[in-house]
Structure 1
Amino acid sequence: MNIFNDLTNFYVIGISYKNADLHTRGKFNLSKSQKIKILKKGKGLDINEILINNTCNRTEIYSFAESSRVIVNLLCENSDGDHETFKQLGYVFENTEAINHIFKVGTGLDSQILGDFEIIGQLKNSFNLSKDNQLIGSFMERLTNSVIQASKRIKTETKISSGATSVAYAAVQFIINEVDNVSNKNVLLIGTGKIGRNTCENLVKHTENKKITVINRSKEKAEILGHKFDILVKDFSEIHGEIEKSDIIVLATGADEPLIHNNLLPKKQKLLIIDLTIPSNIDIDSSTKNVRVVNLDDLSKITYNTLSERKKYIPEAKKIIEEIQQEFLQWIHDRRYAPALKALKNKLIEQQNAEIGARKRKNGVTIYDSSLSYDMIQKITGQFAFYLKENPTKANDAMNIFNEVFQLDLQNHE
């Protein structure tokens, strides 16, 4: 058994837009409290590193575990999803294949909207949540930073993110294309999270509409947005009245229960609702003839007119990913030697101290140059490290021999 392979038992498990519709994805979507529950339960299972990537397109968990089943259980037992649905529609990637997938996701190549640049911000938020719960180690930190680096380079060195490459931008483009005289319509934005803020910015920038109202449970956050873009802010208690007089509603909330029901909808005028929530915060039936609801899956189709142009840059993006991914894999390859090198170094220091003690007991006094002795130890371990890197096919055998000869304590040096 190779005990030095840091990539063994690393998994990605998830469910995404590729196989699951919006309703099904909503079942597996996780609230912040559910994410924290997964992190805590994972820690209780002696899992040291977990990252939960939860977006409108997908719910994924990245982690080391004894088996992928352990992580699938964490997801199904702490969401409204179930094992049978996951078995039919979910996916599992392992080791290098898992790393490939995370790079594709983080750089927008696997997004429903090709080149989506919002995903990297969501990945950073996921990283910070895991770090706050002490479930990020050197592996996951290095991996996340590598994906961020690849994302930045792709965005600056290619044009794959040109056009409608975010949910917020696609939503506003849909409104512009589908609604006549949009600058004179009453627009209500509900929610001031990242997507809500981006949608608001795009509405102001591209529609020249002066009749935009924003509502949020936290009025303070809504007022920050209102001040920035010079738009009207209403208290959350006024939401029913604002819905009734709206021509366009953009819903970008993260509520646990639906906010919009049949009884809140206008009886006569037409209403367009752009639903950017998952699970959906809308609960209306087909009897509402004058209401049109457009969800995330519908919005992905608006990008088709620019998709063929952006697809041209996929080879460039993949080349950048391959370069940075190889650097990460090399780091993993070199990192697996670290415990053995640290253990060897400490063993040599122990032997040095033992020899010094023995001579002192024998001769009464010992004169030696400690810096010279330490330099010799550094040279020996450095030479060993160089051999391992230059002879990867012999590395495991060499480390096993050193471990056997010196009885190295590898576990305490990981």
Structure 2
Amino acid sequence: MEPHLQANGKNFYAIGLSYKKADAEIRGHFSIANDAKRNILVQAKQEGIFSLVVISTCNRTELYGFAEHPFQLIKLLCEHTHGTVEEFEKVAYVHKNNTAIAHLFKVGTGLDSQILGDFEIISQLKISFKQSKKEDMVNPFMERLVNAVIQASKRIKNETDISSGATSVSFAAVQYILARVPHVSRKNLLLFGTGKIGRNTCENLVKHTKNDHIVLVNRTKTKAEEIAGKFNLVVKDYANIQSEIATSDVLIVATGAQKPTISKALIHSDKPLLILDLSIPRNVAVDVTELPNVTLVHLDDLSKMTDQTLQRRKQHIPKAETIITEIKGEFDNWLETRKFAPTIKALKNKLTSLKEAEINLQRKKYTDFDEEHADIISSRIIQKITNHFANHLKDENTSASESLELIQKVFQLQNK
């Protein structure tokens, strides 16, 4: 079934790395900033890669696209990140054609997420797809595939309980704080940065801790004020970050910076401080752990928290897989029909030109000839004939290539 996946002599590949084999540091090396994402798409187009979607989250970095060889995609990734090919090869995976399709279904539906059933990835996929479309880097295959994955994700969300209970790292972060920080409503909580996981954590903190004096600090104060307005937070200047840390009991870091933003040098207090680093690459330097009063927890540690929720979610995997099989089956059928679509189209065009010639002849022969009626009837017959051929070609017991050759010969067709 593989050959019909090829387009212009290129195969469909998924290349990437994830939390499964790559630790936070290595994932940080391959993290793709928004500008870099656009640059990858632009360069890919120049290099003849005509359809590409780029995903970069805290848990994974992946490229899905058509290429003559997967190394074209690997090279693109390494050129636009801090990662090297040698480093990539140690932790990477490369999937081709049907395996690549199956992988995207698994990723997009949360079955491959660090926390099972975390649907954060589907919104990332939608954003990446939109960006590729904007750069004119989406072919009909990619469009159909991504929409099928979105449909599967939606159905799994609605028809199973795979996302019940804790749904993300941000929720796990809050659970961690609630479990380890007594009298949390009276403690000083500081959020540094406005990364997505940080914002979600903040929202959950407001909801679950009943703490009404959470402080937010961000390099861009206007952005901090915008978010603070939504969640009823106190905004402080970035210039005061050191004194804010000194009075905090819990520091949540989600700056989205490419290098650590918090280090040992910024901490001048002996009181116990819990730091949660919810960023990829890591935004908190490991040297903070040299201070006896500091506890540092990274999102990789949070996602390892196994609880009853995860066990409950696992029970819903078979139902989710059934939904994927169904929707992927529909996609495979569409893919299968694409290889003989040009012949069916050429056959329809040939029959239509025969019809038009015959109607012209009959019009000249008979003065009372009902052209409109004849056109309707013959168009319907043409549709039925082409449907018969299409169904014949779809039949599993049919040798599609032999049948295509015969149809082209009999009707003297030129595919257009």
What is the CA distance between 1:153 and its match in structure 2? 2.1
Task: Give a deviation string over 1:249-297, Cα, whole Å, max 9, x none.
Answer: 1112222332212221123222211111111122351433322221121
1:186 equivalent in alignment to 2:191: no
Q: 1:249 to 1:374 in 2, by over 3 A?
A: same
Q: 2:304 is matched with which residue: 295, 301, 304?
A: 301
What is the CA distance between 1:35 and its match in structure 2? 1.2
- The answer for the alignment partner of 1:60 in structure 2 is 62
- SS of residue paired to 1:20: coil
Whole-Å separation in 2 of the counterparts to 1:33 and 1:407? 51
- The answer for the alignment partner of 2:39 in structure 1 is 37
Q: 1:159 is matched with which residue: 161, 182, 187?
A: 161
Assess if the C-alpha contact under 8 Å between 1:4 and 1:396 holds in 2: no
What is the CA distance between 1:392 and its match in structure 2? 5.9
Assess if the C-alpha contact under 8 Å between 1:13 and 1:60 holds in 2: yes
- The answer for the alignment partner of 2:87 in structure 1 is 85
Q: 1:172 to 1:235 in 2, by over 3 A?
A: same
Task: Give a deviation string over 1:187-217, Cα, whole Å, max 9, x none.
Answer: 1112334322211110011111112112334
Q: 1:320 is matched with which residue: 318, 323, 338?
A: 323
Whole-Å separation in 1 of the counterparts to 2:274 and 2:174? 12
Identity of aligned residues (%): 51
- The answer for the alignment partner of 2:24 in structure 1 is 22
Task: Give a deviation string over 1:301-356, Cα, whole Å, max 9, x none.
Answer: 22344322221222222122222221221221223332332233345556777899
Whole-Å separation in 1 of the counterparts to 2:320 and 2:201? 26
What is the CA distance between 1:299 and its match in structure 2? 0.5
- The answer for the alignment partner of 2:272 in structure 1 is 270
Q: 1:151 to 1:184 in 2, by over 3 A?
A: same
Whole-Å separation in 1 of the counterparts to 2:88 and 2:412? 45
What is the CA distance between 1:185 and its match in structure 2? 1.5
- The answer for the alignment partner of 2:400 in structure 1 is 395
- The answer for the alignment partner of 1:49 in structure 2 is 51
Whole-Å separation in 2 of the counterparts to 1:41 and 1:152? 33
- SS of residue paired to 1:47: coil
Q: TM-score, normalised by structure 2?
A: 0.88
Task: Give a deviation string over 1:378-408, Cα, whole Å, max 9, x none.
Answer: 4443332232223563222222334456675
Whole-Å separation in 2 of the counterparts to 1:374 and 1:221? 61
What is the CA distance between 1:169 and its match in structure 2? 0.3
Whole-Å separation in 2 of the counterparts to 1:119 and 1:82? 25
Assess if the C-alpha contact under 8 Å between 1:250 and 1:273 holds in 2: yes
Assess if the C-alpha contact under 8 Å between 1:276 and 1:296 holds in 2: yes
Whole-Å separation in 2 of the counterparts to 1:184 and 1:402? 79
Assess if the C-alpha contact under 8 Å between 2:2 and 2:98 holds in 1: no
Whole-Å separation in 2 of the counterparts to 1:320 and 1:219? 45
What is the CA distance between 1:81 and its match in structure 2? 1.4
1:119 equivalent in alignment to 2:126: no
What is the CA distance between 1:228 and its match in structure 2? 2.1
Assess if the C-alpha contact under 8 Å between 1:251 and 1:273 holds in 2: yes
Deviates more, 1:317-326 or 1:211-220: 211-220
Q: TM-score, normalised by structure 1?
A: 0.88
Please list every run of 5 or more consecutive structure 2 residues that lacks an aligned counterpart in the other structure.
none
Task: Give a deviation string over 1:154-213, Cα, whole Å, max 9, x none.
Answer: 222222212222011011111111212211121111233432221111001111111211
Assess if the C-alpha contact under 8 Å between 2:5 and 2:97 holds in 1: no
Aligned length: 407
- The answer for the alignment partner of 2:343 in structure 1 is 340
Within 5 Å, give how 1:271-290 maps onto structure 2.
271-285=273-287, 286-290=289-293
Q: 1:258 to 1:319 in 2, by over 3 A?
A: same
Deviates more, 1:300-309 or 1:52-61: 300-309
Deviates more, 1:98-107 or 1:188-197: 188-197
What is the CA distance between 1:374 and its match in structure 2? 4.9
Assess if the C-alpha contact under 8 Å between 1:165 and 1:303 holds in 2: no
Q: 1:350 to 1:281 in 2, by over 3 A?
A: farther
What is the CA distance between 1:13 and its match in structure 2? 0.9
Assess if the C-alpha contact under 8 Å between 1:4 and 1:337 holds in 2: no
1:149 equivalent in alignment to 2:151: yes
Whole-Å separation in 2 of the counterparts to 1:25 and 1:81? 9
The residue type equivalent to 2:48 in the other structure is D
1:329 equivalent in alignment to 2:351: no
Assess if the C-alpha contact under 8 Å between 2:228 and 2:235 holds in 1: yes
